[in-house]
């Protein structure tokens, strides 16, 4: 398989941009005392729709076709199915490693973190923000692998995944930055830790590059593709869609999901 240095740099660049979207959430948090829950619900639904559609229609289907070509029936189908559910299992294990209280995907609005009636000491706020940053980094790692692997095989698919990941990284950036900002009153420190948590995605891409590249074959890349589809499906159903629902706008989250699927379908049809 011909994978050039330009393709690798492209994939790494996509993961970097997607990861650093946490910084956008950090900046938004500085200028608002309330979360725009309607926007967040629709955006997270949109991101989930993109991930779900591209996982089933493009990534898993492509991996299935390529593995059938390599191994024939039934082994090609069985390998694709196994890789898909192994990806789901890997994402589930990573999610279970993070305590629920420190999980950045457990919804927290800006006003919930800074309301004066909570009377939370600065030390506790700072600790919470740092724990959120570490937890977010752990969650972002497989997303970096997903974006990078997709970019190696299909650049257009990699771009779509990077956009979906970036959208759902924005509220996560808020989760990291708000406690640190109100503990230290320093925008610089809050932005720094939000920024650092997003770097886990390009780190995931680099690790994938170092592990996958020496052994790259069409069959291995297809297996990785199927596994990444599983990771993205788990992220969508376990994190993005429930989080969108938690913001209290059920119909907006569903409309956003449908819009994400539609735009992804049109993109795949045109590109």
Mean pLDDT, the chain, rounded, equals 77
21-72 per-position pLDDT tens digit: 888 877 766 665 555 677 777 877 887 888 888 889 888 998 899 899 999 9
pLDDT, residue 124, reads 60
Distances (CA, A) of 38 to 107, 169, 221, 251: 14, 16, 38, 10
Which residues have CB under 8 Å from 69's CB, separation 6+? 76
Averaged pLDDT for residues 136-153: 74
Do 4 and 155 meet the contact criterion of CB atoms below 8 Å apart?
no
pLDDT, residue 119, reads 45
Averaged pLDDT for residues 173-183: 71
Is the pLDDT reported for residue 135 higher than 70?
A: no
Distance in angstroms (rounded) separating the CA atoms of residues 195 and 24 = 9
Q: To the nearest whole percent, how much of the chain has pLDDT over 90?
A: 12
Pick the residue with more confidence: 71 or 138?
71
Averaged pLDDT for residues 78-85: 96
Pick the residue with more confidence: 84 or 228?
84
Closest to 86 (Cα-Cα) out of 270, 225, 213, 215: 225
pLDDT, residue 19, reads 84
Is the pLDDT reported for residue 152 higher than 50?
A: yes
Closest to 197 (Cα-Cα) out of 62, 65, 101, 103: 103
Angle made by CA atoms 22, 11, 21, in degrees to the nearest 5: 10
pLDDT, residue 64, reads 94
Distance in angstroms (rounded) separating the CA atoms of residues 257 and 262 = 9
Do 91 and 235 meet the contact criterion of CB atoms below 8 Å apart?
yes
Is the pLDDT reported for residue 239 higher than 80?
A: no
Averaged pLDDT for residues 225-230: 86
Distance in angstroms (rounded) separating the CA atoms of residues 201 and 14 = 10
Confidence class for position 185, pLDDT limits 50, 70, 90: confident
Is the pLDDT reported for residue 212 higher than 80?
A: no
Long-range contact list for 180-186, CB < 8 A, 24+ apart?
A: 180/125, 180/126, 180/129, 180/130, 181/29, 181/30, 181/129, 182/113, 182/114, 182/122, 182/125, 183/122, 183/123, 183/125, 183/126, 183/129, 184/122, 184/126
Among 119-123, 152-156, 191-195, 210-214, the least confident range: 119-123
Closest to 43 (Cα-Cα) out of 179, 168, 219: 168
State both tokens at 25. 């959430």
86-134 per-position pLDDT tens digit: 999 988 887 777 655 555 555 455 555 554 444 444 566 566 566 656 6
Under DSSP, the state recorded for 131 is: H
pLDDT, residue 71, reads 94
Angle made by CA atoms 144, 27, 247, in degrees to the nearest 5: 75
pLDDT, residue 116, reads 45
pLDDT, residue 117, reads 46
């Amino acid at each position: 398989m011909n994978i050039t240095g330009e393709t690798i740099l492209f994939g790494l660049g996509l993961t970097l941009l997607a990861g650093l979207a946490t910084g956008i959430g950090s900046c938004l948090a500085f200028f608002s005392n309330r979360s725009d829950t309607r926007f967040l619900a629709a955006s997270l639904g949109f991101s989930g729709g993109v991930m779900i559609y591209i996982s089933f229609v493009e990534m898993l289907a492509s991996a299935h076709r390529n593995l059938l070509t390599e191994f024939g029936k039934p082994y090609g189908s069985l390998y694709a199915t196994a890789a898909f559910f192994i990806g789901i299992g890997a994402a589930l294990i990573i999610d279970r490693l993070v305590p629920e209280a420190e999980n950045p995907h457990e919804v927290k609005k800006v006003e919930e973190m800074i309301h004066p009636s909570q009377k939370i000491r600065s030390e506790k706020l700072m600790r919470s923000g740092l724990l959120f940053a570490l937890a977010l980094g752990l969650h972002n790692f497989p997303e970096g692998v997903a974006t990078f692997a997709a970019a190696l095989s299909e650049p257009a698919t990699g771009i779509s995944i990077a956009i979906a990941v970036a959208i759902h990284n924005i509220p996560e950036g808020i989760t990291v930055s708000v406690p640190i900002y109100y503990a230290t009153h320093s925008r610089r420190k809050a932005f720094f830790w939000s920024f650092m948590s997003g770097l886990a995605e390009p780190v995931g891409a680099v690790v994938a590059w170092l592990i996958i590249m020496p052994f790259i074959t069409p069959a291995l890349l297809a297996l990785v593709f199927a596994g990444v589809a599983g990771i993205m499906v788990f992220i969508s159903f376990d994190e993005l869609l429930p989080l969108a629902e938690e913001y209290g706008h059920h119909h907006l989250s569903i409309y956003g999901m449908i819009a994400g699927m539609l735009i992804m379908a049109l993109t795949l049809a045109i590109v």
